[in-house]
Amino acid sequence: MDIQILLQVIALGLIQGITEFLPISSSAHLLLPSALFGFKEQGVAFDVACHVGTLMAVMAYFRTELKGMFNDSIAYLKSRVVTPNVIMAWYLICGTIPVCIAGYFIDKYLLDQIRESAVAVIATTTVVFAVILYIADAYAVKHCNVVNENNMGFKRAMLIAISQIFAFVPGTSRSGISMIFALFCGLTRKATARYSFLLSIPLILAAGLHSGLKVMKETTESVDYLYIGIGLIVSYISAYYVIKFFIKWIEKIGMTPFVIYRLILGLILFAVLVF
């Protein structure tokens, strides 16, 4: 076992797990190791494994809610009784469809153009959306947001879900943009986090299936299952505890620490561009 590669695998798994759900942009952080430290890319299969790890983490954390949505949705087919779990299931399904459609066309026609200027785009969006996140959080405090994920209504739910389309611009952050829209829609910080994390489940699943099919059809790279397994486990553990502590503490700490972090990260990326 190559110790250097092992350390890189652990670092990349940690980066994926920690940044996937925080409003700080996972794409920005996955760019930094190669730009600053010369990390070797571990391949598409490794990326898929890390995403599977984060998917397992969010599903494990929300296992009770997911079980409730599944059971109530099955019961709805027989009894037509609408419960909050049924409504939430519809929010997740209806909100994911337009994002997946947009993702298909972006991946097919625009992804290469976006990647050509990835560092410049990520540096800019990291800073710009830091400012917008600060404004959204200040708005939430000023207006004493009281809406939660169970009473937000269809329009709010769809607006927040569809906002994730902006996350295809590198550096925006899927969780960040959904939280921004949720705060502007009147959701509490905790409800903002919970709904953003629930929205990630079908999207990560769809992206993982899409990338997994690409790996099976197109890749010729050799796959090291040991490193893939380590990346999956590390991303799972780190993502699970990020979700747990973020939801626990977000009402107290607010978004300001993440705003400051994004601003610092953006400046580092601009420095990488210059030097």
What confidence score (pLDDT) does residue 246 get? 97
Query: What residue type is assigned to position 64 of the chain?
Result: T
DSSP 40: P
CA distance 109 to 128: 25
- pTM (two decimals): 0.92
106: Cα separation from own chain's centroid: 17
What confidence score (pLDDT) does residue 18 get? 93
Dump pLDDT digits (tens) for 32-73.
776 666 666 666 788 889 999 999 999 999 999 999 999 999
What confidence score (pLDDT) does residue 59 get? 97
What confidence score (pLDDT) does residue 111 get? 63
What confidence score (pLDDT) does residue 41 get? 66
CA distance 182 to 189: 8
How far is CA 33 from each of CA 12, 19, 38, 137, 263, rounded to the nearest angstrom?
8, 14, 6, 30, 18
Give me the residue label for tokens 């942009």.
Answer: 25
CA distance 96 to 202: 7
Q: Is 271 exposed, middle or buried (0-12, 13-18, 19+ CB in 10 A)?
A: exposed
Which parts of the chain register pLDDT below 50? none
Residues paired with residue 105 on neighbouring β-strands, in sequence order? none
How far is CA 135 from each of CA 48, 121, 179, 187, 229, rounded to the nearest angstrom?
34, 21, 12, 14, 40
147 phi and psi angles, rounded to 5 deg: -75, 140
